[in-house]
Amino acid sequence: MAQSPYATLNPPRRILMGPGPSDTHPRVLAALGAPTVGHLDPYFLQVMTETQVMLRQLFRTKNELTLAVSGTGSAGMEACVVNLIEPGDKMVVCVNGVFGGRMADVAGRAGAQVTVVEQPFGETFPPEQIAEVVALVKPKVVGIVHAETSTGARQSLEEISKIVHDAGALLLVDAVTSLGGIPVEVDGWELDAVYSGTQKCLSCPPGLAPVTFGPRAIAAIEKRKTKVASWYLDMTMVRNYWGQDRAYHHTAPINMNYGLREALVLVLEEGLEQRWARHQKNHLALKAGLKALGLNYAVPEGKQLPMLNAVLIPAGVDDAKVRGMLLNEFGIEIGGGLGPMKGKTWRIGLMGETSSPRNVLVLLAALERCLTSQGAKVTPGAGVAAANAAYAG
């Protein structure tokens, strides 16, 4: 046998504190390596059924059409849009960050007549603004991002949902970063179509997109006059594979689904409420520590996401050098700014497995070193001390 010129795969061990992917639990990695079975094997069909039951618990919904789309979070976005939209349909998309912008792009490609409503990056949408635009446009669908990972802003949805439904429209929600980290109440808030991703607060590697469609969304899909523009993401066919019929559509990524199943078991073992509380507790400790290091949040108080902490880079500090030092000397990944925030913010993720006191304290200690090496004035130990005080209090 010829000697391979390639070394055995041996990725570095990182602490993933960026905007995703997040750290994975060893049980999820082990599940990914379990023996592959066929996509119609009774064992796999049971895995699918169990995954659906657990996804409904996470989404807090009774929606029958709840499943994992084969593809990353963006595939979930595309799946929702192409199934709800027919060419010429009106869609309002709320854009206050990169992912709202992506949804508007996807909607336009699907043939929607798109109306974009905007807020500055870091801000959120007041219900009155949505009320005004739906009254004017009379859209079929309103799309909005629950947790804008590009800015760290948290959008409240309950009032907007009422407004959208009173106007006879459907509410499509991006819950890629929120699911598993903060409450996502699909039935309680009457969200019509929601998509998420495995790689953020579910702490499974990127590769699947949990989605759920409520009764209004299904009625809209069943009333379509045209075929769904994407064959791969057509829910009228995919649902026959995940539903009673188990009809072959595409070969499900078997081992990715094992990984998601195990990640969902871990979420439910912890308990959803406990998981939300853990994300909040570690966020508050990190926030106290960052403040003590002289770093300010880019999002106003009260609108900050616990799993994505966007802070302003202090004047005179080199963005790339600090992120490079964190990665190379400490094995810690954090994210840079996106879009207009490029070079202005760091995005520090505390998602799923990553959200722990250990990681908060290590990051604050390492960041102190990086800031000091950049000539920033930092009181030695202040970040770690403030975070410890937050944990103690």
| Contact footprint for ligand PLP (CB under 6 A) | 20, 72-74, 77, 99, 145, 147, 149, 174, 176-177, 197, 199-200, 206
The nearer residue to ligand PLP, 355 or 388, going by C-beta atoms, is 355
The nearer residue to ligand PLP, 160 or 386, going by C-beta atoms, is 160
Min CB(341)–ligand PLP separation in Å: 14
DSSP for residue 273: H
Contact 259, 48 (CB under 8 A): no
Q: Alpha helix (H) ranges present in the chain?
A: 26-32, 42-59, 73-84, 98-109, 127-137, 158-166, 215-222, 235-242, 254-270, 272-292, 319-330, 357-373, 382-392
Min CB(215)–ligand PLP separation in Å: 25
Distance of CA 276 to the CA centre of its chain: 14
The nearer residue to ligand PLP, 112 or 176, going by C-beta atoms, is 176
Min CB(71)–ligand PLP separation in Å: 8
Contact 197, 348 (CB under 8 A): no
Min CB(184)–ligand PLP separation in Å: 12
Q: 268 vs 133, 230, 275, 303, CA distance in Å? A: 39, 33, 9, 27
Min CB(197)–ligand PLP separation in Å: 4
* Nearest-angstrom CA–CA distance, 170 and 141: 5
Listed in sequence order, the residues at least 6 apart from 319 whose beta carbon sits closer than 8 Å to its beta carbon are: 313, 336, 337, 343, 346
* Nearest-angstrom CA–CA distance, 77 and 75: 5
Give the 3-state secondary structure of residue 321.
helix
Contact 48, 257 (CB under 8 A): yes
Distance of CA 91 to the CA centre of its chain: 22
The nearer residue to ligand PLP, 147 or 390, going by C-beta atoms, is 147
Listed in sequence order, the residues at least 6 apart from 126 whose beta carbon sits closer than 8 Å to its beta carbon are: none
Q: 85 vs 66, 142, 143, 185, 197, CA distance in Å? A: 19, 11, 11, 24, 21
The nearer residue to ligand PLP, 44 or 121, going by C-beta atoms, is 121
The nearer residue to ligand PLP, 15 or 145, going by C-beta atoms, is 145
The nearer residue to ligand PLP, 152 or 214, going by C-beta atoms, is 152
- Residue 226 class from Cβ within 10 Å (0-12 exposed, 13-18 middle, 19+ buried)? exposed
* Nearest-angstrom CA–CA distance, 113 and 115: 7
* Nearest-angstrom CA–CA distance, 124 and 313: 22
Min CB(50)–ligand PLP separation in Å: 23
* Nearest-angstrom CA–CA distance, 13 and 26: 13
The nearer residue to ligand PLP, 146 or 376, going by C-beta atoms, is 146
The nearer residue to ligand PLP, 112 or 390, going by C-beta atoms, is 112
Min CB(140)–ligand PLP separation in Å: 21
Min CB(199)–ligand PLP separation in Å: 6
Min CB(303)–ligand PLP separation in Å: 15
Min CB(117)–ligand PLP separation in Å: 17
The nearer residue to ligand PLP, 99 or 241, going by C-beta atoms, is 99
The nearer residue to ligand PLP, 183 or 294, going by C-beta atoms, is 183
Secondary structure (DSSP) of 147-180: EETTTTEE---HHHHHHHHHTT-EEEEE-TTTTT
Min CB(164)–ligand PLP separation in Å: 19
- Taking CB atoms, the residue at the shortest distance from ligand PLP is 73
